[in-house]
Amino acid sequence: MGMTALFCLWVDDWIWRVALGLVFGALSSLWISRQVAGPFYRIERDLESILHGARQGERVQLREGDPLQHLADLINELIERAKKLI
């Protein structure tokens, strides 16, 4: 009888830890994906407008501290080099 009670307490504790871990993991993955997906969407939108002529020769602008800032800088350098060739 004592072993069964101990096992039930362990299972209850284990279930709560797994549930809290899943909730924390889901919230973390949403936050991280939002941090990356937002800059990708902005780069895509800026490039489409530049290619279709709506923003001739402008730069791709991201917020300060975005994780894809280096990619935006490379794209802007490519735009500057293309302007020199034209």
Instruction: Write the pLDDT tens digit of every residue in 10-26.
Output: 666 767 777 788 999 99
Burial 1-24 (b: 16+ CB within 10 A, else e): eeeeeeeeeeeeeeeeeeeeeeee
Rounded Cα gap, residues 59 and 83, in angstroms:
11
Q: What is the pLDDT of residues 27-80, one digit of tens each?
A: 999 988 888 888 999 999 988 888 887 666 688 888 888 888 999 999 999 888
N-terminal to C-terminal alpha carbon distance within the chain? 85
Check if the beta carbon of residue 59 is closer than 8 Å to that of residue 79: yes
- Give residue 16's pLDDT: 72
Rounded to two decimals, the pTM is: 0.63
How many residues belong to the chain?
86
